[in-house]
Amino acid sequence: MRIPAHSVCTAIREDIVSGVYERGSRLTEELLARRYGVSRVPVREALRTLESEGFVVTRRHAGACVAEPTEQEAADLLEVKLLLEPLGAARAAQRRTEAHLKVLRGLVKLGQERARRGEGEDLRSLGGWFHETLAQASGSPGLIALLTQLRHKITWMYAVEQPVRPVESWAEHGALVDAVARGDAERARGLATQHAERSLAAHRPRRPVRAVKQSRVSTSQHPVNTSGARH
């Protein structure tokens, strides 16, 4: 059975973001197909998608390679974040559903509880889930795709420290959800802007991580789970 290309794309992207493949390293179709337990066709399609997203570049005589973003390109991502996240929050205030609100309120409640207990790792995953749900609530497929890609790239290029005052940070999340619930787009935009600006100081550029050696990659099997793949 042919494995959907988007599942392979997700797996390769996650390995790039996590540092399995270092920046500038070659991505050969044969080795990737062997690693993920698929044919070369979905790998080829995945590499094209990842090139359009900026994770992969094609070089003469080398083929597909992991991209090597400049410091300026990395800095630009944070500026784009300051523009898109407030827009997403404003759209969410106009288009959110009750289901979105239920999830957002539940995440804020959990986040506030974990913040009081000092459970940092839980807060990291809850924060990601919160911002993903807020983006989904915007009701704009194009904006959702941009925000999703932006989160992937920022995770790839930056290590994000936990807030010094996590309780206050989750209080900001709560105020943002209240504005979204009231349908107050301008209030939601303003709160999202403030929150994004405060988070900038927590971003630290990552140093490129050493890749798994080609010999190791070529002999490992990494079957793709198509049942729950996320793109």
- Domain limits of the chain? 5-68, 71-205
Q: Is 115 exposed, middle or buried (0-12, 13-18, 19+ CB in 10 A)?
A: buried
How confident is the prediction for the chain on average, in pLDDT?
Answer: 87
Measuring CA to CA, which residue among 42, 49, 17, 43 is closest to residue 29? Answer: 43
Reported as a pLDDT band with limits 50, 70 and 90, residue 71 is very high
- pLDDT, mean of residues 161-189: 93
Q: Is 188 exposed, middle or buried (0-12, 13-18, 19+ CB in 10 A)?
A: buried
Kindly report the pTM of this predicted structure. 0.79
179-203 pLDDT tens trace: 999 999 999 999 999 999 998 888 9
Structural class in CATH, domain 71-205: mainly alpha
24-69 pLDDT tens trace: 999 999 999 999 989 999 999 999 999 999 999 999 888 999 999 9
Measuring CA to CA, which residue among 55, 231, 52 is closest to residue 153? Answer: 55
The beta-strand segments (E) located in the chain are 56-59, 63-66, 158-160, 203-205
Q: Give the domain 5-68 fold.
A: Arc Repressor Mutant, subunit A (1.10.10)
Reported as a pLDDT band with limits 50, 70 and 90, residue 211 is very low
CB 90 within 8 A of CB 186: yes
pLDDT of residue 210: 45
pLDDT of residue 231: 40
C-alpha angle 79/114/182, rounded to 5°? 60
Q: Can you read off the two tokens belonging to residue 23?
A: 């920046």
DSSP-derived pairing of the beta strands 63-66 and 56-59? antiparallel
pLDDT of residue 86: 97
- pLDDT, mean of residues 145-163: 90
